[in-house]
């Protein structure tokens, strides 16, 4: 089931979006008062977890997430290369997932170098909280593991064709992230990859 409004085709972008995209707010930033019909995601990126997070920040984040134009929480997740220790990042990630569940909104997940820990955390995430891994570039074997653990996958400009193919349509999303390509071009690239695979399958 798609947790986003039906008009959304780009679920994660860092470029000021059209009416068909979700703009990712930098950590600690609230949605602008005049959103001009745009939609947003808000959360604490794992890169921004090195310093302690005061309770006032958490309350401000909850208030931001409660706004109707904020339709997702994130990006949040785990990164073995930057930020706090992975143990602390896990606690911050789970707290954001709980906030998302209370608000009835999905989470947009960032993961670098901590896939085994993210898979293990799947059991601790709220069952009613859709979780979508953004910018997935890894292989089909990991894609299957993540799908089996309840994650959906979002693909951008760069993707593994086989990982794209093994991801069911209802768990497959598209995004521009920081790409210079339009979301229409990115979707075209993904659809071309799928068509090439199916055409080869028919010929076989």
* Domain at 63, CATH number: 3.20.20.140
Looking at the domain assignment, is residue 3 inside a domain? no
Looking at the domain assignment, is residue 5 inside a domain? no
Looking at the domain assignment, is residue 181 inside a domain? yes
SS3 content of the chain, % helix, strand, coil (to 5): 40, 20, 40
What is the tens place of the pLDDT at every residue in 120-172? 999 999 988 999 999 999 999 999 999 999 999 999 999 999 999 999 999 99
pTM here is 0.92
Structural domain harbouring 183 = 10-203
User: Would the pLDDT of 34 be above 80?
Assistant: no
Task: Work out the pLDDT band at 13, boundaries 50, 70, 90.
Answer: very high
Q: Are strands 39-42 and 70-79 parallel, antiparallel or unpaired?
A: parallel
Question: Count of domains in the chain?
Answer: 1
In the prediction, which pLDDT does 190 show? Answer: 96
* Rounded (5°) CA angle 41-133-138: 145
What is the tens place of the pLDDT at every residue in 59-80? 999 999 999 999 999 999 999 9
Looking at the domain assignment, is residue 2 inside a domain? no
In the prediction, which pLDDT does 201 show? Answer: 55
Is 159 in contact with 143 (CB distance < 8 Å)?
Answer: no
Label residue 115 exposed, middle or buried (CB < 10 Å: 0-12, 13-18, 19+). Answer: middle
Q: Exposure pattern of 159-180 as b/e (b: 16+ CB <10 Å)?
A: bbbebbbbbeeebbbbbbbebe
Looking at the domain assignment, is residue 68 inside a domain? yes
Mean pLDDT of 4-19: 89
Looking at the domain assignment, is residue 152 inside a domain? yes
Looking at the domain assignment, is residue 168 inside a domain? yes
């Amino acid at each position: 089931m798609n947790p986003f409004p039906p008009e959304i085709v780009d679920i994660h972008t860092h470029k000021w979006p059209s009416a068909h995209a979700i703009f990712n707010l930098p950590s600690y930033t609230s949605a602008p008062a005049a959103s001009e019909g745009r939609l947003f995601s808000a959360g604490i990126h794992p890169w921004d977890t090195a310093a302690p997070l005061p309770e006032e920040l958490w309350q401000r984040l909850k208030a931001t997430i409660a706004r109707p134009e904020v339709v997702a929480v994130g990006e949040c997740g785990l990164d073995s290369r930057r930020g706090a220790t992975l143990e602390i990042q896990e606690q911050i990630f789970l707290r954001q997932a709980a906030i998302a569940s209370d608000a009835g909104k999905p989470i947009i997940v960032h993961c670098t170098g901590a896939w085994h820990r993210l898979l293990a955390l799947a059991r601790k995430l709220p069952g009613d909280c859709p979780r979508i891994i953004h910018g997935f570039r890894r292989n089909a074997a990991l894609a299957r593991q993540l799908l089996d653990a309840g994650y959906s996958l979002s693909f951008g400009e760069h993707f593994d064709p086989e990982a794209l193919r093994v991801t069911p349509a209802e768990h497959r999303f598209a995004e521009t992230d920081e790409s210079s390509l339009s979301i229409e071009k990115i979707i075209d690239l993904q659809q071309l990859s799928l068509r090439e695979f199916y055409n080869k399958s028919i010929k076989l």
